[in-house]
């Protein structure tokens, strides 16, 4: 590649849609697939997903959740066993084949139905409970018309946990335990601030008694659902005959939960942390946390390369690599690693060797730090921690400053036009959600209980529930 071929991000983040597409392609996160609505996940992005998988899979193992894998194709009759679930997912099903008996098979949009058919065979006694399973897989939801890689695609990768318990209390506790783990994952690994809340009766998962969600806010003012956890009650257990014999020797229906996060989190990281130069990766999720760029002429090459190798050994505690490609100038490399969001760039040239120093550049702020060669390891570790914390603080500050209160419908409408999250009294009903959508184009991302009564901005009724309202992806 020639120097004239150097191309950075051509769009400004203020033009979010164009910028987002530009970053995905030039940071080599994704590419567009031949089939509309699908994406190709490239190594840079898949490495982020692997970091998420590794972190959360370890958490699941600590909680005695075991990994499984269920078939991709699900008989149509399975979806019809739970009426609300069947209605909710009907538009999303993609049928691909018929069985020998003439029954259509659908590609899984989620796995409640096929997994709970097996639960009915595996669970017999209270001794079989709790049953806590998880699978890492892909799903397909065909209804999506306006797609955006990672944020909303027809096929995506996720984990879906499915648990069965003897009591309602255990199921409720599991639902809350997991949604809190999702919030912690977003904060500590991805530096993403998210809010926890309960989905309205209209927005909850099809077939669930209660759905808890974590919601982030993207730079264009649209909310992004980053993970959900559901208390399924006993509806699926009844539909799929999942009974157990209790200690009282009587037959009981199990209580169930399901929960999941997906590759949508990658899109959130890009949107929230990126800047006009491209991707900005939080150090803990970055597959490569630092890049060492040697700077030399032909006469100084051997000495610089020797010192770079020594430096690489000093940084074994960091996910670090050396960019030793020939035919690319240091400036070209600087530009590329800025676009790809590597948290730290370490520069070393003849003058630095002479002064027994290195230059470290932070991707988040652009700050250059000159440190003595003996302090590189310690300083690098400190800077990575500072970047992680700084990215979270900046994102949290932005989120908190974009939440306002609206007492009337016109306040809600005005706030939404400015790309804000609007808190307003809202009746938790299908009618109120429908009216909200018709009048604002938005919905409640979650509902919280209020200490005192207020007037619903849609129905005019006195209510004790507050909706967090935003447009969404």
Using one digit for the tens of pLDDT, what is the confidence trace for 452-473?
999 999 999 999 999 999 999 9
Would 285 be classed as within a structural domain?
A: no
* Predicted confidence (pLDDT) at residue 1 exceeds the cutoff of 60: no
Residues 367, 421, single domain; the answer is no
Would 306 be classed as within a structural domain?
A: yes
Q: How confident is the model at residue 53 (pLDDT cuts 50, 70, 90)?
A: very high
Using one digit for the tens of pLDDT, what is the confidence trace for 419-429?
999 999 999 99
Domain CATH number, residue 324: 3.40.50.800
Domain CATH number, residue 24: 3.30.930.10
- CA separation, residue 362 to residues 20, 28, 345 (Å): 22, 21, 7
* Predicted confidence (pLDDT) at residue 144 exceeds the cutoff of 90: no
Residues 364, 215, single domain; the answer is no
Residues 127, 200, single domain; the answer is yes
Over pLDDT 70: what percentage of the chain?
99
Would 354 be classed as within a structural domain?
A: yes
Q: What is the pLDDT of residue 333?
A: 96
Rounded to whole angstroms, the Cα distance separating 343 from 19 reads 20
Residues 247, 378, single domain; the answer is no
Would 251 be classed as within a structural domain?
A: yes
Rounded to whole angstroms, the Cα distance separating 287 from 48 reads 7
Using one digit for the tens of pLDDT, what is the confidence trace for 162-215?
999 999 999 999 999 999 999 999 999 999 999 999 999 999 999 999 999 999
Residues 186, 106, single domain; the answer is yes
Residue 184's SS3 state is helix
- Least confident interval from 2-11, 120-129, 142-151: 2-11
Would 165 be classed as within a structural domain?
A: yes
Specify the higher pLDDT residue, 66 or 8: 66
Rounded to whole angstroms, the Cα distance separating 215 from 200 reads 14
Q: What is the pLDDT of residue 7?
A: 64
* Predicted confidence (pLDDT) at residue 153 exceeds the cutoff of 50: yes
Q: How confident is the model at residue 236 (pLDDT cuts 50, 70, 90)?
A: very high
Would 278 be classed as within a structural domain?
A: no
Residues 44, 92, single domain; the answer is yes
- Answer whether 428's CB lies under 8 Å from 465's CB: yes
Residues 140, 23, single domain; the answer is yes
Residues 327, 438, single domain; the answer is no
Strands 66-67 and 131-140: parallel
Phi/psi for 241 (5° steps) reads 55, 50
The arithmetic mean of pLDDT across residues 346-370, rounded, is 97
Would 281 be classed as within a structural domain?
A: no
Q: What is the pLDDT of residue 3?
A: 46
How many CB atoms within 10 Å of residue 122?
12
Would 395 be classed as within a structural domain?
A: no
- Answer whether 164's CB lies under 8 Å from 242's CB: yes
Domain interval for residue 372: 290-386
Cβ neighbors of 381 (< 8 A, separation 6 or more) are: 317, 318
Using one digit for the tens of pLDDT, what is the confidence trace for 12-43?
999 999 999 999 999 999 999 999 999 999 99
Provide the number of structural domains found in the chain. Answer: 3
DSSP states of 32-81:
E-SSTT-EEEPHHHHHHHHHHHHHHHHHHHHTT-EE----SEEEHHHHHT
Using one digit for the tens of pLDDT, what is the confidence trace for 215-226?
999 999 999 999
Using one digit for the tens of pLDDT, what is the confidence trace for 303-329?
999 999 999 999 999 999 999 999 999
* Predicted confidence (pLDDT) at residue 231 exceeds the cutoff of 90: yes
Residues 308, 437, single domain; the answer is no
Residues 340, 371, single domain; the answer is yes
Residues 268, 297, single domain; the answer is no
* Predicted confidence (pLDDT) at residue 64 exceeds the cutoff of 90: yes
Residues 223, 254, single domain; the answer is yes
* Region at 76 (left for phi over 0; alpha for psi -120 to 50; beta for the rest): alpha
Using one digit for the tens of pLDDT, what is the confidence trace for 83-127?
788 788 888 899 998 888 889 999 999 999 999 999 999 999 999
Compute the mean pLDDT over every residue in the chain, rounded to the nearest whole number. Answer: 95
Residue positions counted in the chain: 473
């Amino acid at each position: 590649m020639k120097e004239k071929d150097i191309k950075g991000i051509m769009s400004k983040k203020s033009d979010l849609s164009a910028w987002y597409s530009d970053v995905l392609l030039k940071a080599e996160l994704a590419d567009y697939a031949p089939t509309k609505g699908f994406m190709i996940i490239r190594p840079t992005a898949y490495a982020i997903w692997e970091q998420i998988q590794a972190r959360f899979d370890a958490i699941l193992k600590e909680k005695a959740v075991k990994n499984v894998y269920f078939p991709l194709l699900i008989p149509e009759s399975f979806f019809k066993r739970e009426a609300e679930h069947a209605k909710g997912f009907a538009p999303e099903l993609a049928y691909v084949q018929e069985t020998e008996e003439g029954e259509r098979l659908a590609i899984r949009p989620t796995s409640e139905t096929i997994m709970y058919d097996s639960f009915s065979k595996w669970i017999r006694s209270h001794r079989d409970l709790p049953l806590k399973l998880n699978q890492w897989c892909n799903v397909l939801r065909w209804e999506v018309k306006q797609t955006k890689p990672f944020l909303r695609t027809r096929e995506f990768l996720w984990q879906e946990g499915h648990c069965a318990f003897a009591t309602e209390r255990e199921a409720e506790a599991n639902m809350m335990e997991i949604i809190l783990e999702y919030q912690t994952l977003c904060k500590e690994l991805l530096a993403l601030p998210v809010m926890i809340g309960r989905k309205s009766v209209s927005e909850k998962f099809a077939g669930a008694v209660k759905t808890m969600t974590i919601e982030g806010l993207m730079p264009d003012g649209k909310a992004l659902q980053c993970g959900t956890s559901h208390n399924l009650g006993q509806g699926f257990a009844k539909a799929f005959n999942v009974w157990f014999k209790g200690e009282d020797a009587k037959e009981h229906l199990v209580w169930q939960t399901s929960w999941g996060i997906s590759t949508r989190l990658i899109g959130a990281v890009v949107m929230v942390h990126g800047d006009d130069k491209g991707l900005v990766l939080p150090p803990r999720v970055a597959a490569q946390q630092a890049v060492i760029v040697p700077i030399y002429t032909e006469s100084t090459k051997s000495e610089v390369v020797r010192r770079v190798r020594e430096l690489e050994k000093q940084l074994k505690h960091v996910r670090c690599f050396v960019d030793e490609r020939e035919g690319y100038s240091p400036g070209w490399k600087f530009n590329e690693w800025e676009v790809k969001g590597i948290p730290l760039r370490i520069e070393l040239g003849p003058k630095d060797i002479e002064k027994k120093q290195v230059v470290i550049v932070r991707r988040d702020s652009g700050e250059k730090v000159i440190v003595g060669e003996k302090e590189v390891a310690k300083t690098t570790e400190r800077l990575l921690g500072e970047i992680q914390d700084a990215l979270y603080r900046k994102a949290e500050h932005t989120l908190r400053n974009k939440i306002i209160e609206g007492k009337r419908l016109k306040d809600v409408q005005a706030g939404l036009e400015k790309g804000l999250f609007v808190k307003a009294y809202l009746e938790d009903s299908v009618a109120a959600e429908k009216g909200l959508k018709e009048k604002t184009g938005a919905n409640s991302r979650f509902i919280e209980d209020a200490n005192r009564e207020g007037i619903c901005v849609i129905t005019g009724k006195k209510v004790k529930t507050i909706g967090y309202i935003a447009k969404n992806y």
